[in-house]
Amino acid sequence: MSNADLRDLYQEVIMDHNKKPRNFREMTDANHLAHGNNPLCGDALVVFLKLNGDVIEDVSFQGSGCAISVSSASMMTEALKGKTLAEAETLYQLVHKQMTGEEIDSSSLGKLAVLSGVKEFPARVKCATLSWHTLHAAMDSEHDISVSTE
Amino acid sequence: MSELDLSAIRKDFPILHQQVNGHPLVYLDNAASSQKPNQVIDAVSDYYRQDNANVHRGVHRLSQRATDSYEGARDKVRGFLNAQSDKEIIFVRGATEAVNLVAQSFVRPQLQAGDEILISHMEHHANIVPWQILCEQTGAKLNVIPMTMAGELDLSTFDELLTSKTKIMAIGHVSNALGTINPIKEMIAKAHAKNIPVLVDGAQAVPHMIVDVQDLDCDFYVFSGHKMFAPTGIGALYGKQALLEAMPPWQGGGDMILSVSFAHTQYNELPYKFEAGTPNISGAIGLGAAIDYMNGLGIANLAAHEHALLVAATEKVSALSGVRIIGTAAQKASVLSFMIEGVHPHDVGTIFDQQGVAIRTGHHCAQPVMQFFGIPATARASFAFYNTFEEIDALVGGIKKVQELFA
């Protein structure tokens, strides 16, 4: 592979989100949260959710990780705000399929489609999916729970 | 400088001659696992092609040949460590199994609640977790020798850490995460002055230096074959004969007994007492071949070349801005751990891989070391004698590529 492929992975949008992650803050009035970590590389993050009925009123995250995991989490929070839980679930499934190389209609992913380059780098798929798995855990539980992507 | 014929040596390692992601492979992950020369690969496959049979049983010719080769390998390990007797060499799966064996078979029977086990802050998880398990089992306490920001052991409180309750000191010879060579000979002498036995984790030392267990006077020395150009799944435990004699067996099974009845089982003599079940015969033979290979080149020559590589790499990487070397001990072997400002090591690893450069990124199974430096992980280049000065340029080029992409 060449540097062009590296640029497929490290696209401008991804680099931008890595440098300036959006919704990167603790949410004191969150009513759902979950911890996610990847023991293999030490990535660790918390996803905070504030649900109003079944609408995601606010979503944020905190933690540390590589460019792929931070930018994926950042883009996830942007994509989810104002969505219903059912819409979030659909998006979660789509993202998961995209990362694992299944055929999907990438137009339905919007900006999240920039992460599609990750599937060419199997060792990095878990970096990109960590925040989504953690989100899923947060959606499912009102308690603070932990997930691991190792 | 080096007296090695590097191009001849590299011809012995078939795996090195391949393209990875369109670039010639530059293998700088030797501290994780080293590559194998044809001499080792052939020894293993010749055994399976010509001699394969179980050892220590059977009067037939193949079994005798297998036994001779297996025991011949044991004697090579004895010579490699300068142990006194073959009885002091126990074949195990690797350093990890050897530490667990000593923890459970030597230390556990003597431990009481409140006793102490002494390790250091820079240990690999393999020399931490077996002792923690032992502490949970017995109520003993784990004490830790601190370290400095340079990645050297801080021995200012060492005397106080060696107490009347310390039942063993377990210490790494060379740190896998930092490359630090610890002053184990002096530490062993101090521990022995207080009658404290010492286990040395030599997994990162044996590929890089001459080890003499009699000179060190350590009680136990453990290492893995795969980090010293031998197959995976084989390693050795050296133990002083008197200590091994007094220890109960660790695992029961075939080969470790002299006679078995339902009323009484008589255990076998050393070293077989600790080798229950059919051992990794081909692995041991491969390990013996790796020792022959290293001796043929001269371990002192290998060490000199590696040292020159480490010095050159340290100099070149230090000269780059935005790069911090983690582990700057005065005495180091093989390892150059580093952080590139603003870039997570995992991204560094991917970008290096795209240049064909294999390095390790992560916590290196030494999370307490990462916690000490307040970092989640490092990128680590680690050298073996088959590495070249051109490959250091590839390392430097990789760092520059990362900085360019993340600019």
Q: What is the 3-state secondary structure (H, E, C) of chain A?
A: CCHHHHHHHCCHHHHHHHHCCCCECCCCCCCEEEEEEECCCCEEEEEEEEEECCEEEEEEEEEECCHHHHHHHHHHHHHHCCCEHHHHHHHHHHHHHHHCCCCCCHHHHHHHHHHHHHHHCHHHHHHHHHHHHHHHHHHHCCCCEEEECC
CA distance B324 to B396: 13
Residues B142 and B158 in one domain: yes
Q: Which of B19, B339, B340, B346 to mutate to test the interface with A (most CBs of A within 10 A)?
A: B346
Residues B71 and B202 in one domain: yes
Count residue pairs from A and B with Cβ separation < 8 A: 57
Helix, strand, coil shares, percent, chain B, to 5:
45, 20, 35
Q: Is B218 a residue of the active site?
A: no
Residues B328 and B398 in one domain: yes
Confidence of residue A144 (pLDDT cuts 50, 70, 90): low
pLDDT, tens only, B144-190? 999 999 999 999 999 999 999 999 999 999 999 999 999 999 999 99
B235 closest CA partner among B290, B184, B295, B188: B290
Is the pLDDT at B266 greater than 50, yes or no? Answer: yes
Instruction: State the nearest Cα–Cα gap between B301 and chain A, in angstroms.
Output: 36
A1–B361 CB contact, under 8 Å = no
pLDDT, tens only, A29-57? 999 999 999 877 778 899 999 999 999 99
Confidence of residue A148 (pLDDT cuts 50, 70, 90): low
Predicted pLDDT at A1: 44
- Closest chain A residue to B367, measured at CA: A42
Q: Which of A10, A65, A124 sits opposite B405 (nearest CB)?
A: A10
Residues B260 and B388 in one domain: no
Is the pLDDT at A2 greater than 80, yes or no? Answer: no
Residues B277 and B401 in one domain: no
Q: What is the CATH number of the domain that holds B50?
A: 3.40.640.10
Q: Which residues of B touch A16 (CB under 8 A)?
A: none
CA distance B366 to A43: 15
**Residue B382 CA, distance from chain mean position:** 13
- Closest chain B residue to A118, measured at CA: B350
B126 closest CA partner among B30, B203, B31: B203
- Kindly state whether B344 is in contact with chain A, defined as any CB-CB distance less than 8 angstroms: yes
Single-letter residue type at B26: V
Q: Which residues of A touch B351 (CB under 8 A)?
A: 6
The one-character DSSP state at B168 is: E
Residues B125 and B16 in one domain: no
- Kindly state whether A150 is in contact with chain B, defined as any CB-CB distance less than 8 angstroms: no
Residue B129: CB partners within 8 Å, gap ≥ 6? none
Choice between B365 and B210, residue whose per-residue pLDDT is larger: B210
Single-letter residue type at B195: N
- φ, ψ for residue B99 (rounded to 5)? -65, -45
Q: Which of B20, B344, B360, B371 to mutate to test the interface with A (most CBs of A within 10 A)?
A: B344
Given a contact cutoff of 8 angstroms between Cβ atoms, the answer to whether B377 and B362 are in contact is yes
- Burial of residue B331 (CB within 10 Å: 0-12, 13-18, 19+) is exposed
- φ, ψ for residue B64 (rounded to 5)? -65, -40
Predicted pLDDT at A34: 94
Q: Is B111 left (phi over 0), alpha (psi -120 to 50) or beta?
A: beta
A9–B350 CB contact, under 8 Å = yes
- Most distant pair of Cα atoms in chain A: their distance: 48
- Kindly state whether B110 is in contact with chain A, defined as any CB-CB distance less than 8 angstroms: no
- Burial of residue B2 (CB within 10 Å: 0-12, 13-18, 19+) is middle
Out of B365, B375, B376, B389, pick the active-site residue.
B365
Structural domain of B264:
41-296
CA distance B407 to B401: 10
Predicted pLDDT at A143: 57
Residues B180 and B316 in one domain: no
Residues B147 and B169 in one domain: yes
* Number of compact structural domains in chain A: 1
- Kindly state whether A66 is in contact with chain B, defined as any CB-CB distance less than 8 angstroms: yes
B35 domain residue, yes or no = no
- For the beta carbon of residue A26, count every other beta carbon within 10 angstroms: 11
B326 domain residue, yes or no = yes
Residues B118 and B13 in one domain: no
Summarize the confidence of residues B348-363 as an average pLDDT: 94
Torsion of CA B163, B165, B170, B173, to 10 degrees: 20
Q: Which of A2, A6, A14, A119 to mutate to test the interface with B (most CBs of B within 10 A)?
A: A6
Q: Which residues of A touch B350 (CB under 8 A)?
A: 6, 9, 121, 123-124
Torsion of CA B157, B159, B163, B169, to 10 degrees: 90
Residues B214 and B360 in one domain: no
- For the beta carbon of residue B144, count every other beta carbon within 10 angstroms: 15
- Closest chain A residue to B20, measured at CA: A1
Among the candidates B252, B276, B296, a domain finishes at B296
pLDDT, tens only, B25-64? 999 999 999 999 999 999 999 999 999 999 987 789 999 9
Is the pLDDT at A147 greater than 70, yes or no? Answer: no
Predicted pLDDT at A149: 62
- Burial of residue B358 (CB within 10 Å: 0-12, 13-18, 19+) is middle
CA distance A59 to A103: 28
Is the pLDDT at B102 greater than 60, yes or no? Answer: yes
Instruction: Label the pairing between strands B166-172 and B116-120.
Output: parallel
**Structure tokens that stand for B350 in this block:** 């991917």
Q: Which of A6, A7, A67 sits opposite B344 (nearest CB)?
A: A67
Q: Which residues of B touch A120 (CB under 8 A)?
A: none
Q: What is the CATH number of the domain that holds B24?
A: 3.90.1150.10
Predicted pLDDT at B1: 44
CA distance A24 to A33: 14
Q: Which of A40, A66, A123 sits opposite B344 (nearest CB)?
A: A66
Q: What is the CATH number of the domain that holds A76?
A: 3.90.1010.10
- For the beta carbon of residue A53, count every other beta carbon within 10 angstroms: 7
CA distance A44 to A37: 4
CA distance B379 to B396: 13
**Structure tokens that stand for B76 in this block:** 């090579």
Residues B20 and B159 in one domain: no
- Kindly state whether B78 is in contact with chain A, defined as any CB-CB distance less than 8 angstroms: no
Predicted pLDDT at A3: 56
* Number of compact structural domains in chain B: 2
Structural domain of A15:
3-148
B305 closest CA partner among B387, B203, B244, B228: B387
- Kindly state whether A117 is in contact with chain B, defined as any CB-CB distance less than 8 angstroms: no
Lowest mean pLDDT among A16-25, A100-109, B124-133: A100-109
B1 domain residue, yes or no = no
- Closest chain A residue to B351, measured at CA: A6
Among the candidates B296, B319, B339, a domain finishes at B296
Confidence of residue B406 (pLDDT cuts 50, 70, 90): very high
Among the candidates B247, B275, B296, a domain finishes at B296
Predicted pLDDT at A110: 85
Residues 18-37 of B with CB under 8 A from A: 21-22
Predicted pLDDT at B277: 94
Residues B264 and B339 in one domain: no
Q: Which of A42, A44, A124 sits opposite B350 (nearest CB)?
A: A124
Choice between B96 and A139, residue whose per-residue pLDDT is larger: B96
Q: Which residues of B touch A123 (CB under 8 A)?
A: 349-350
- For the beta carbon of residue B49, count every other beta carbon within 10 angstroms: 9
